[in-house]
Amino acid sequence: MLFLAGTLSLFFALGISLIANSARAADGPQTICPGEIWPDDRGQHIQAHGGGILKRGDTYYWFGEDRTRGLSRDKRYVACYSSTDLAHWTFRNQVVALADPENLGPGWVLERPKVFYNSQSNKFVMYAHIDDGRYKYASVAVLTCDTVHGNYRYVKSFRPLNHESRDIGQFIDDDGTAYLIFEDRPYGFRIAKLSADYMSIEKEMCLIPRHMEGGALVHYKGLYYAIGSSLTGWNPNPNRFATATNLAGPWSEFKNIADPETKTYGSQSTMMLKVVGTKTTTVIFMGDIWRPQMQWDSRYLWMPLEIGDGKLWLSKPAPWTLDIKTGEVTVEK
Ligand code: GAL
């Protein structure tokens, strides 16, 4: 009897703790905490570095480099997560697990994946920076999939408009037109329009003769804002922005997005995300805080930007919440 009671209470205690754990996992962090571990629905730190976001209906899909510790050294990986509030992320799939498709050798690179949906072909088209270990191949890789978080198939690599291309960024304008931003080392920051099926580049929109990586664009209240970082590898630097009324330019001078001494609070831009709510529109700065020796532990710096009238400012990171319906944000003091 005593034994039975003991066993029952053990089961009871275990049951309670299991319930508590699953509740915690389901609740997850509602607040976005820049620079901290960002757990997915499994409680694992999100692996979507150098990432991009694709919105389909009410769902946001976050794609990025999966640098989980212990993955094969020969392959490169992209993971995909989904969310309807930009705070809770559900792991969907490791959408790319690719072995060196162009024989680039050990240390080959697949970075900054960005996914576009093409309504003409009904396919999801992923662009990424593909390179050898010395960053001389300097090309884009194109992969496609019939479903948003299925297994992407490698199609090809090429140099956009025959230019060198390292860091890439993605931009979808309010009219739905899709653009690729790429860093062309000899010349600068280029913005190019994708072809009708998104499988190639149709034309160049502009060349900003500035050497900038981590290119990001947003169209906000009649102005285009472009952000980029300097070329300091994994080390942070002061990211800058410029504006133009037309993608083709002319572009204004570049200015700091934050106090330059903070080096963008240790982060590097990867994208700007515009959330149009019922009450207001919020533009989120998405940056990476790289940890080159422990890439799996690289963090994210997402903060709402102060933006408008040609000004853009990234305020000091602090935990914040977003009301995805109204578009309003609350930043903790
Ligand atoms: C950074 C770039 C990263 C990665 C790194 C390698 O400048 O933004 O995506 O390529 O260099 O050193």
Q: Is the pLDDT of residue 111 over 80?
A: yes
Query: Would the CB of 234 count as within 6 Å of ligand 1?
Result: yes
Q: 3-state SS string over 268-281?
A: EEEEEEEEECCCCE
Nearest Cα to Cα of residue 172 among 126, 227, 120, 218: 218
Q: For a pocket test of ligand 1, which of 65, 136, 165, 166 has the largest count of ligand atoms closer than 8 A to its C-beta?
A: 166
Lowest-pLDDT choice from 10-19, 94-103, 237-246, 279-288: 10-19
pLDDT band for position 30 (50/70/90)?
Answer: confident
Closest-CA residue, ligand 1 atom 2, reads: 233
| CA 95 to ligand 1 center in whole angstroms | 21
Query: Would the CB of 169 count as within 6 Å of ligand 1?
Result: no
The pTM for the full model equals 0.91
Whole-angstrom Cα distance, residue 209 to residue 39?
A: 39
Task: Yes or no: say if 229 and 239 are a contact pair by the CB < 8 Å rule.
Answer: yes
Q: How many residues does the chain have?
A: 333
Predicted local confidence at residue 48, as pLDDT: 98
Task: Yes or no: say if 260 and 248 are a contact pair by the CB < 8 Å rule.
Answer: no
Q: For a pocket test of ligand 1, which of 110, 127, 234 has the largest count of ligand atoms closer than 8 A to its C-beta?
A: 234
Specify the amino acid at residue 275: V
Strands (E), 85-200: 90-99, 109-118, 123-131, 139-145, 153-158, 168-172, 178-184, 188-194
Q: Is the pLDDT of residue 57 over 80?
A: yes
What is the C-alpha radius of gyration for the chain, rounded to an integer number of angstroms?
A: 21
Nearest Cα to Cα of residue 241 among 261, 223, 222, 262: 223
Predicted local confidence at residue 206, as pLDDT: 97
Whole-angstrom Cα distance, residue 35 to residue 97?
A: 27
Query: Would the CB of 233 count as within 6 Å of ligand 1?
Result: yes
| CA 192 to ligand 1 center in whole angstroms | 21
Predicted local confidence at residue 285, as pLDDT: 98
Atom from ligand 1 closest to the CA of residue 213: 8
Q: For a pocket test of ligand 1, which of 111, 112, 130, 139 has the largest count of ligand atoms closer than 8 A to its C-beta?
A: 111
Task: Yes or no: say if 87 and 111 are a contact pair by the CB < 8 Å rule.
Answer: no
Query: Would the CB of 288 count as within 6 Å of ligand 1?
Result: no
Q: What is the mean predicted confidence (pLDDT) over 71-89?
A: 97
- Percent of the chain at pLDDT > 90 equals 91
Predicted local confidence at residue 333, as pLDDT: 86
Q: Reduced to 3 states, what is the DSSP secondary structure of residue 324?
A: coil
